[in-house]
Amino acid sequence: MATATPASETEVKEEEQVVNPWEVSAGKGGIDYDKLVDQFGCQRIDAVLVDRIARLTARPPHRFLRRGLFFAHRDLSELLDLYERGEKFYLYTGRGPSSEALHLGHLIPFMFTKYLQDAFKVPLVIQLTDDEKFLWKNLTVEECKRLARENAKDIIACGFDVERTFIFSDFEFVGGKFYENMVKISKCVTCNKAVGIFGFSPEDPIGKYSFPPVQAAPSFPSSFPHLFGGNNQLRCLIPCAIDQDPYFRMTRDVAPRLGYQKPSLIESRFFPALQACVSFLLGRAKAQAQFDCF
């Protein structure tokens, strides 16, 4: 006979947050970022680190840093140590094109990446994962490729340095050294490990299992010999939302086994839904109106 789940256990399950590259849902109190930092094993960005970035770049820190929108990191301090000693790095970020245009939340990492590129004067690669959207969404290959081109227009409009920026779609670019790195990464990650990191199920198509190495490969400069000319130990900094962290935990785990440097990360909170912003503003307006009555 089936046993009924106690009400308290049901409530706990309902309040559990889910944060992964394909699903973000909050508990009743919203996203618990402290819990995510502990769960993922990243580090908080503190005022000392923000001040150090300002000192090294000789410019005010970006408002996303000052206001804590970018709040967590992996090995950012070590990357800055190397930069201070004269070693450069490159930036890597991306976009999964599943809509006609980028909304404000999508633009957050690109706006911040532009600041990083301008402040540190470093190269940037931008990956359009049209193949990912084909695997996860009910879209044709042709539609994914079209959306990638449309999204690229919005990304270009952010004003990146043309001489230092390379934008590519997976469907159009993957091959050569990039594919070599994908295969090397794939050989280092078992199915059990992929299930543990990403939560894949036996019912998922095998394409989902094979995708994480595609997103990992841009973390290694040897994937872009035409850009970095064989400088295979160049460090990489990845600005992204914290839901992308699982991809790069995997990447950082396999990097030493391949003889590569671990990528560093700087991670953001999620942009709040506009409905929540409107409700907040209406609440403030109502409170102000009541106050003005006195």
For the stretch 182-222, pLDDT in tens is 999 999 999 999 999 999 999 999 999 999 999 999 999 99
Residue pair 151/107 in contact (Cβ under 8 Å)? The answer is no
Give the tens place of pLDDT for each residue, 101-160.
Answer: 888 888 999 999 999 999 999 999 999 999 999 999 999 999 999 999 999 999 999 999
Question: Which of the four pLDDT bands, split at 50, 70 and 90, describes residue 162?
Answer: very high
Provide mean pLDDT across the span 11-33.
71
Question: Angle 219-233-94 (CA atoms, 0-180°, nearest 5)?
Answer: 15
Between 29 and 211, whose confidence is greater?
211
Provide mean pLDDT across the span 64-88.
96
Residue 276 pLDDT more than 90? no
Cα 63 to chain center, whole Å? 19
30-39, 44-53, 205-214, 254-263: the lowest-pLDDT one: 30-39
Cβ atoms within 10 A of the Cβ of 263, count? Answer: 23
- In angstroms, the CA 223 to CA 219 distance is 8
Nearest to 216 by CA among 191, 259, 242, 252: 252
In angstroms, what is the C-alpha Rg of the chain?
Answer: 21
73-82, 103-112, 174-183, 251-260: the lowest-pLDDT one: 103-112
Cα 102 to chain center, whole Å? 15
Cβ atoms within 10 A of the Cβ of 54, count? Answer: 16
- In angstroms, the CA 37 to CA 106 distance is 22
For CA atoms 52, 112, 234, 258, the dihedral sign is positive
Residue pair 270/31 in contact (Cβ under 8 Å)? The answer is yes
Q: What is the pTM of this model?
A: 0.86
Question: Which of the four pLDDT bands, split at 50, 70 and 90, describes residue 26?
Answer: confident
Residue pair 150/144 in contact (Cβ under 8 Å)? The answer is no
Nearest to 73 by CA among 106, 107, 36: 36
